[in-house]
Structures are given as C-alpha cells and as structure tokens.
Amino acid sequence: MSELMLNIVLSFLSAMAGAYGGALAATWWQEKKEEKSLVKAREATIINALIICRHYGEVISKVDKKIVPDGRELEWYEVNLVEIFMPPNIQHNPSELITYLGKSEYDLVASIIHAEWVAKSAINVIEKRDLEYSELQKYLISKGSSRKLSKEQATKIIGDAWSAKLDSLTKEMHTAVRAAIKQNMDCFNSLVKLLPNEKKLKDAFERIEPTITL
C-alpha cells in the first residue's frame, strides 16, 4: 500500500473513530439529560401529590374541629352548618402518578386515589348534611321556636323520622371526616419518604404536617 493510500485510510479511520466517539458522547449526554429530566418530573409529581393530600387533610380537619371539640363527637342537634368548600380543579392525576412513581408504587398510587375519593365523599356528606340542617332551621323558624332547643324539644317539633335522618347524616359525617383525615395523612407520610433525603422540601412538609389533626 502506497504512503498516500495509507494516509487516506488512516485519515478515514480516524474520522470514523472521531464521529463514533462524538456520537457516543452525544448519546451519553442526551441520556443523562433525559435521566435528570425524569428525576425532576418525578419529584415534581411527588410534591404536587403531597400538596393535594395536605390540602385535603387541612380542609377536612377544619370540619373536624367544628364537630369534635375537645375530643367529643357532637350530636346532630349540636352541630350547626359546617359550610365547606373545595375547588373542583384540585385533584390528583392518576396517569402522571403511575408514570413517574413506577410499578413499584402501584399500591401507593391506588391509596392516593382512594384517599382523594374518601375526602370528596366526606365533602359530599357534609354538604348533604348542611342542606338538611338548613331546611331544619327554616322549618323551626316557621314554627316560631326559640333559638336554642334541647334534643327532646327539637325532636318534638320535627318528629322522630327527621331527627333520625339528621342523626344518621351526622354520624356518617363523623366517620367520613375521620377516614379522610387518616387516609390523606397516611398517603402524605408515604409520599414524603420518596423525596431525596437532601431535599429541604422534605423537612418543610414534615413541619407543616401537624396541622392535619386526627
């Protein structure tokens, strides 16, 4: 092989090696970039779920403070209107949770979605009970009853059937509120553990958590 031909071959091989090496470096860089993006997206998904769980817990715990003062569950005639509001657009994204938390966290995703359903169910029960109690107030006013009534006095005016209905709704509300707080707190605690230890957000969320009371 002539010197000219040898130089051409060596130059070609060198160029090929350089191109291959460059392609490998570009692929490695792209993979690292995608890996970092995936980590950030996963962390953002966890934080978003944490915020929603905490929000559900805090909203429902405000109800709990109204209906369970000093640890005693109030009866139907002791609980006035609760008046709760939850924006409909605050909700988990199941597809996003499954995508970024992965197969290993399917049980947690299921728990998160169930906890959200329990919280929304509790809100529905509270609203239903509020509506019924509002009708009761209107009825009592129409009868010219005094502002404060005992259970016996109120039952005598409205009848046993209505009293029993309000009692059932109030007990259902107590049960739903307890379940919503507990399940959202459990999911909150499980989600926090998925954050990197070095993240300050973990400590921040743990400091906020005690506002979600049992």
Whole-number pLDDT of residue 213: 35
Per-residue confidence band for 197, with pLDDT thresholds at 50, 70 and 90? low
Query: 55-114, pLDDT tens digit by residue?
Result: 898 889 999 999 998 889 999 988 888 988 877 778 898 889 998 888 788 899 999 999
Give residues with Cβ within 8 angstroms of 185, minimum separation 6: 53, 57, 209, 212, 214
For range 169-193, the mean pLDDT: 93
Whole-number pLDDT of residue 129: 94
Whether 201 shows a pLDDT value over 80: the answer reads no
Tokens 């002791």 found at: 78
Per DSSP, the three-state class of 68 is: coil
Give the global pTM: 0.75
Distance CA 89, CA 187 (A): 20
Whole-number pLDDT of residue 88: 75
Distance CA 23, CA 14 (A): 14
Give me the helices (H) in 3-68, please. Answer: 3-67
Whole-number pLDDT of residue 205: 55
Distance CA 68, CA 212 (A): 14
Query: 29-50, pLDDT tens digit by residue?
Result: 555 555 677 778 888 889 889 9
Distance CA 104, CA 109 (A): 10
Instruction: Note whether 127 and 84 are within 8 A (CB).
Output: yes
Query: Looking at per-residue confidence, does 31 or 116 come out higher?
Result: 116
For range 149-174, the mean pLDDT: 90
Query: 8-18, pLDDT tens digit by residue?
Result: 444 544 555 55
Residue 8 is encoded by which pair of tokens?
Answer: 């051409």
Query: 21-31, pLDDT tens digit by residue?
Result: 555 555 545 55
Per-residue confidence band for 210, with pLDDT thresholds at 50, 70 and 90? very low
Nearest to 66 by CA among 10, 126, 8, 124: 126
